[in-house]
């Protein structure tokens, strides 16, 4: 079973590291001079070249049985070309739906999934409408740019709105896609994510929901199972994600990020791929999100998504690796072999314990050790 | 952290697959035209060439920080040469002790570890002495050859002894090492193994003891924790393995195979390396034997050896891979990418459950599925 992955970052790396033990082999397709260090040594790397025909691209990747992606913000052109020769999972249409926040919102509406209220913003008039419908503060998000909290603006008053309109130059933008969505500033209590996997035969499984804490828009740590999440909210989340997976005829892992306010769940974002908030599954579940993604896209039976005990995951953001101090008895290290830059996701630590509370209690000193006192 | 492994089989493969996620890189040293398919793609492979100087060998392997081995039957020459430039774990003297059954027996005596009775056999007279001391049937084992039950002879009577003496040609053998050991045929109830790991700082940890079932001298399946093994026998086994690790100033994983008769433990064999009977630790323990070996030799803190639930492991011997039928919900597959030959170790399956009995109950139908009815 030979798999080609579009993208060469840590998610591609961890997919390969999950597939290699099962006898899979890998090749990687890089775009836009991306850093390929995370997948170096795990299989041949081909740089995307739009002049390649579909056959040439297929052959350059070693005639994969299946093609998958590590990110939704990618060119669909090579995926559509490769789909002439082999399976592409998730399917390009599913990726297309999740590439744009506005299309994603429409998908949530179609699938009747509870989501953050929003107004599509393609003009100054739309933004004024958003203010009157949603009030201040308003969060405006670019529909196609932005990752880890980038390309988002908080507007607190009319002055902010006017400044945004001046910068946005709506009058110059093509009308091919809605450029922004406006949302109310959600005064949420916490963020949780659901990670599901759908097999080729339609079977759907979920990992226990995970609670996530972000810092400057970037995931800092997670704990699973999400403490004190009611069975009603879990059922709502899983039903929503299942509806989406089935609507898209999706094969593989998908993550769904949600805000939780008092007793309600609001879906904020979908990721048609393995997800940072599921990294703990590598060290605590029976079969990790990465292995289940590989099993699903290969057409193999899914593995158990049951959690054994509890886990906490700490992202290593912009810090040098020091295994001797960061690794402990029940701490696992995954390091992505990237060069160190401030704030960059360089690796993560996972610790396991008997309960989420016990895992969280041990996460705090680990965080201090890695990042120093708050 | 760059690691060179002497050997290119499945144990080298699984050590690399455990080290890669933590950011380690690998190179491999092959001997005697061995099949290198299991490590293909995991790092550069250098063929052993005795004409290389120690510096040339060190550079050919990419200047490793640490060198380790996947087997005890290897040339110590490259290891001693590499030890001039970097750490070698386990140390060559420890490997030397375990390369020869007679030296291994002497080690067990030194460390006061309960072991199968034996007589060293370098002459016909020695063999006659063995008969009078141990009686029939007698098992004669070559001290340096043999793996998975090969190079062993069962002698049932005087005629068998005379035939063996005629074939052995004691008079022609050099006296550098004792060529054989004779042991009584052990009417054991079962076989168990202990896997321990010793860190660079001297800390020693053990995985739960594993019960092993062999077929034609080759491990067929294991279950862990070994059912109904008394705490006294566990303590005896762990104390013995600890004494050996400390005596040898050993760093890394060592396995100790034992016979169990009624209420006694008899150490049969040591393996100065990761071991087939510990493959279940990849899918059921917090930190696998492979990861702990890598942590130990790198000088990093050990990981937890606690088992979560129970596990059963089934070796895939000489069978074609069929993931769709072999993989199930709680079954993990490790495939070594070797070509299929009768009886060859090609991969293994691990299933996890709540108790050894539950795991064993599920192992039987899995075995039938893989090998057909007994």
List, as one string, the DSSP characters of B132-159. Answer: HHH-SSEEEEESS--STT-SEEEE-SHH
Residue ending a domain, choose from B35, B67, B88: B88
Count contacts between A and B (CB, < 8 Å): 102
- Which of A178-187, B80-89, B205-214 has the weakest average pLDDT? A178-187
Same domain, B266 and B129: no
Rounded Cα–Cα distance for residues B123 and B7 (Å): 34
Averaged confidence pLDDT in chain A: 93
Tell me which of A199 and B352 has the higher pLDDT. Answer: A199
Q: What is the pLDDT of residues A285-328, one digit of tens each?
A: 789 999 999 999 999 999 999 887 899 999 999 998 888 778 88
Rounded Cα–Cα distance for residues B138 and B28 (Å): 40
Strand A66-69 versus strand A2-6 pairing type = parallel
On whether the CB atoms of residues A101 and A122 are closer than 8 A, the answer is: no
Distance of CA A54 to the CA centre of its chain: 28
Left if phi > 0, otherwise alpha if psi is -120 to 50, otherwise beta: which for A317? beta
Same domain, B174 and B199: no
DSSP annotation of A276 reads G
Rounded Cα–Cα distance for residues A12 and B81 (Å): 38
Rounded Cα–Cα distance for residues A195 and B106 (Å): 55
| H or E stretch covering A211 | strand A210-215
Same domain, B176 and B268: no
What is the pTM for the complete model shown?
A: 0.92
Q: CB of A54 within 8 Å of any CB in chain B?
A: no
Q: Which of B192, B230, B233 is nearest to B213 (CA)?
A: B192
Q: CB of A295 within 8 Å of any CB in chain B?
A: yes
DSSP annotation of A351 reads E
Choose the mutation target among A295, A329, A350 for the interface with B, i.e. most B CBs under 10 Å. Answer: A329
Same domain, A222 and A355: yes
- Which of A194-208, A255-269, B176-190 has the weakest average pLDDT? B176-190
On whether the CB atoms of residues A227 and A191 are closer than 8 A, the answer is: no
Same domain, B297 and B312: yes
Q: Which domain range does residue A50 map to?
A: 2-88
Kindly identify which residue of chain B lies nearest to residue A352, measuring between CA atoms: B286
CA distances from A368 to A326, A344, A374, B108, B153 (A): 11, 18, 7, 46, 61
Name the maximum alpha-carbon separation found in chain A.
Answer: 59
Same domain, A125 and A204: no
On whether the CB atoms of residues A79 and A95 are closer than 8 A, the answer is: yes
Same domain, A209 and A333: yes
CB distance B323–A300 less than 8 Å? yes
Return the pLDDT at B231: 95
Q: CB of A31 within 8 Å of any CB in chain B?
A: no
Return the pLDDT at B175: 62
CB distance A301–B324 less than 8 Å? yes
In a domain, B98, yes or no: no
Taking residues A148-164, report their average pLDDT.
87
- A-chain residues near B323 (CB < 8 A): 1, 22, 298, 300
Tell me which of A326 and A72 has the higher pLDDT. Answer: A72
In a domain, B109, yes or no: no
Q: What is the pLDDT of residues A38-62, one digit of tens each?
A: 999 999 999 999 889 999 999 999 9
Taking residues B206-225, report their average pLDDT.
94
Same domain, B239 and B338: yes
Rounded Cα–Cα distance for residues B330 and B351 (Å): 5
Return the pLDDT at B161: 92
Q: CB of A305 within 8 Å of any CB in chain B?
A: no
- Report the b/e string of A92-108 with b at 16+ CB within 10 A: bebbbbbbbbbbbbebb
Return the pLDDT at B174: 65
In a domain, A111, yes or no: no
Return the pLDDT at A262: 84
In a domain, A34, yes or no: yes
CB distance B23–A336 less than 8 Å? yes
Q: CB of B366 within 8 Å of any CB in chain A?
A: no
Contacts of B214 (CB under 8 A, 6+ apart): B149, B191, B220
Kindly identify which residue of chain A lies nearest to residue B328, measuring between CA atoms: A301
Provide the β-strand partners of residue A348: A315, A334
Rounded Cα–Cα distance for residues A192 and A207 (Å): 12
At residue A3, does pLDDT exceed 90?
yes
Same domain, B292 and B194: yes
Contacts of A274 (CB under 8 A, 6+ apart): A11, A14, A15, A70, A253, A255, A289, A290, A293
Residue ending a domain, choose from B184, B209, B240: B184
CA distances from A174 to A96, A121, A123, A143, A170 (A): 19, 13, 11, 14, 8
Rounded Cα–Cα distance for residues B342 and B354 (Å): 33
Q: Which of B205, B228, B342, B367 is nearest to B278 (CA)?
A: B205
Provide the β-strand partners of residue A313: A222, A350
Same domain, B224 and B77: no
Same domain, A121 and A250: no
Same domain, A205 and A287: yes
Q: Chain B, 323-352: which have a CB under 8 Å from a chain A CB?
A: 323-324, 327-337, 347, 352
On whether the CB atoms of residues B117 and B108 are closer than 8 A, the answer is: no
As for the ipTM of the complex, it is: 0.89
Q: For chain B, how many structural domains are there in total?
A: 3
Averaged confidence pLDDT in chain B: 93
Q: CB of B42 within 8 Å of any CB in chain A?
A: yes
**Confidence class for position A345, pLDDT limits 50, 70, 90:** very high
In a domain, B164, yes or no: yes
Share of chain A above pLDDT 70, in %: 97
In a domain, B275, yes or no: yes
The helix/strand/coil state of A267 is: strand
Q: Verify cis geometry, omega within 30 degrees of 0, for the bond prior to A291.
A: no
Residue ending a domain, choose from B156, B184, B212: B184
Q: What is the pLDDT of residues A109-154, one digit of tens each?
A: 999 999 999 999 999 999 999 999 999 999 999 988 866 667 889 9
Q: Which of A91, A89, A98, A92 is nearest to A300 (CA)?
A: A89
Rounded Cα–Cα distance for residues B122 and B279 (Å): 36
In a domain, B298, yes or no: yes
**Confidence class for position B148, pLDDT limits 50, 70, 90:** low
In a domain, B99, yes or no: no
Taking residues B166-180, report their average pLDDT.
77
Rounded Cα–Cα distance for residues A267 and A287 (Å): 25
Q: Calculate helix-pair angle for B10-19, B289-298, nearest 10 degrees.
A: 70
A52: domain CATH number is 3.40.50.20
A168: domain CATH number is 3.30.1490.20
- A-chain residues near B42 (CB < 8 A): 20, 41
Rounded Cα–Cα distance for residues A314 and A316 (Å): 6
For residue A292, report the phi and psi dihedrals to the nearest 5 degrees: -70, -35
Rounded Cα–Cα distance for residues B283 and B287 (Å): 9
A349: domain CATH number is 3.30.470.20
Minimal CA separation from B44 to chain A, in Å: 9
At residue A21, does pLDDT exceed 70?
yes
């Amino acid at each position: 079973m030979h798999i080609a992955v579009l993208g060469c970052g840590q998610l591609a790396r961890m997919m390969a590291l999950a597939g290699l033990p099962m006898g899979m082999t890998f090749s990687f397709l890089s775009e836009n001079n991306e850093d390929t260090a995370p997948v170096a040594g795990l299989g041949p790397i081909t740089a995307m070249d739009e002049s390649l025909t579909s056959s040439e691209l297929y052959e350059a990747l070693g005639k994969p049985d299946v093609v998958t992606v590590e990110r939704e913000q990618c060119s669909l052109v090579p995926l559509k070309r490769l789909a002439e020769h082999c399976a592409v999972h998730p399917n390009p249409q599913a990726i297309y739906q999740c590439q744009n926040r506005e299309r994603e919102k429409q998908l949530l509406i179609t699938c009747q999934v509870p989501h953050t209220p929003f107004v599509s913003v393609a003009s100054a008039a739309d933004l004024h409408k958003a203010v009157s419908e949603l009030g201040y503060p308003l969060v405006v998000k670019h529909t196609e740019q932005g990752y880890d909290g980038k390309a988002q603006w908080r507007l607190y008053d009319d002055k902010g709105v006017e400044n945004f309109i001046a910068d946005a130059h709506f009058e110059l933008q093509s009308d091919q896609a809605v450029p922004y969505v406006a949302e109310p500033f959600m005064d949420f209590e916490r963020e949780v994510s659901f990670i599901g996997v759908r097999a080729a035969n339609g079977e759907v499984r979920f990992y226990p929901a995970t609670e996530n804490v972000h810092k400057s828009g970037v995931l800092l740590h997670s704990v699973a199972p999400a403490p004190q999440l009611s069975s009603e909210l879990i059922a709502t989340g899983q039903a929503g994600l299942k509806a989406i997976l089935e609507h898209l005829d999706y094969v593989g892992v998908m993550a769904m990020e949600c805000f939780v306010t008092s007793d309600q769940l609001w879906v904020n974002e979908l990721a048609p791929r393995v997800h940072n908030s599921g990294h703990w599954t590598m060290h605590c579940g029976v079969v990790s999100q990465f292995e289940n993604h590989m099993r699903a896209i290969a057409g193999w039976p899914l593995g158990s998504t049951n959690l054994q005990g509890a886990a906490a995951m700490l992202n290593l953001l912009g810090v040098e690796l020091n295994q001797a101090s960061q690794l402990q008895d029940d701490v696992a290290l995954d390091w992505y072999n990237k060069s160190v830059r401030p704030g960059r996701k360089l690796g993560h630590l996972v610790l396991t314990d008997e309960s989420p509370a016990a895992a969280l209690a041990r996460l705090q000193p680990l965080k201090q050790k890695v990042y120093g006192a708050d």
